[in-house]
Structure formats: C-alpha cells, structure tokens
A = this chain, B = another copy of it.
Amino acid sequence: MSPTARLTKKGQATKERIVSTAADLIFEHGVAGTSIEDVRKAASVSGSQMAHYFQDKRHLVQEVVDYQADLVLGVQRSPRLETFSDLRRWAAINVEQQRERNCEGGCRFGSLAGELVEADRDTRRQLARGFDRWESVLRDGLQLMYDRGDLRPEADPDKLAMTLLAALQGGTLLTQTMRSTDPLEAVLDSVIEYVESFAADPASVARA
C-alpha cells in the first residue's frame, strides 16, 4: 500500500494543498529558489505535517511534477483536438495564456523539465512520462483525424504530435525569454500550417 493510500480524506486534502502551494511557488521562483520552509509557511502547515507527507524536498518536487503534468494535460485536453480548427484554437489558447501572464514563467511543465531534467534518473523519467502523456493527447486527436480521412495517408500522426509539442515548448521558452508572444505565435502558426498541408480536402482548413 502506498503512503498516499493510507491517508485520511483530510490528510489527502492537506497533502494536495501543500503540493499545489509548492507548485505555485516553484513556478514563480524555480525549484532551486524554493525551500521546504517557504512551502511550509505558504501552505500554513507545521514542520511535522510537512515531514509526515514528504520525506524530503525531492519527494515534494516529484509530486509537483505530476501535479503540473495533470494541470497542463487538463488544459490541453479541453477543447478536444480533433479538427483543424481545434488546432488553431489550441494555439490561440496557449498564446493567450502567455499573454495573460505577461510571458512570465514559461510553460508550467516545460520549465520544470528544463530545471530538473539532469537532477536524477527518477525525476528525468518522470518528466519523460509527462511529455509522453502530453504527446499522446495530441497524437490521439491527430490519429482520429487520420482515421477519419481528414489527413492524407502520407501524414504521420506520431511525428506531427511530436512537432506540435516541441514547437510549443521551444516557442514558449523564446516567448518567456523575449517577453513577447511573437516567437510562440510564429512557430505555432508554422507547424499548424504544416499539419494543414496534409489536409485531404484543402477546403476543410479554416484560414485565419
């Protein structure tokens, strides 16, 4: 039985509150810039409560990685990505999110990956699983478009999904660094035009 399974409902709620507090602090200050003590204070819990739920900072950070993956995937899944116009909407949502944050902080999950990828093997694998899940969400939509015949037989849903995810990650890092949504808009527009170039019926592609 995992430690989580043994928690009472109240205990589970407290643990979740600590993780979401830690996620917000880390999103703002980075992993290196966030101490266990910062999280404890911000979540208003005692030192013994912190120790009860998390062996050490590494374990807390691992929970944050899963938390951000879930959050990002929740956002990415809605709206569904099953049509060319869904892809355009997906791009617009990601750009709008950066604009609302004045391009600060980057991608909730990608920033964690950038900081932690070389930390240790377990964390890297956990980050890889997060990106895998994310790519699957994109691929499922593209596969559906493929199976439905919206995409020509030459299209490769795997490759297209990886292209969209990489474009989003790279575009977000450039947008964060330059504090302008231009890079993200440029690369997402390019890769979506690339996906659209595989449209079986070019007329089905709604141009902006």
Instruction: State the copy count for this chain.
Output: 2
Main secondary structure, interface of A, reads: helix
Neighbour of A167 across the interface among B113, B160, B166, B177, CB < 8 A: B166
> Do B177 and A173 touch across chains, with their CB atoms under 8 A apart?
no
* Per-residue B-contact encoding for A28-56, CB less than 8 Å = 1, 0 else: 11111000000000000000000000000
- Minimum distance in angstroms from A65 CB to a CB of chain B: 11
CA of A124 to CA of B166, assembled, Å: 22
A179 lies within 8 A of chain B by Cβ: yes
> Do A187 and B174 touch across chains, with their CB atoms under 8 A apart?
no
CA of A125 to CA of B122, assembled, Å: 33
A100 lies within 8 A of chain B by Cβ: no
Q: Which residues of A contact B (CB under 8 A)?
A: 28-32, 104-106, 110-111, 113-115, 117-118, 124, 127-128, 131-132, 158-160, 162-163, 165-174, 176-179, 182-184, 186-187, 189-191, 193-194, 197
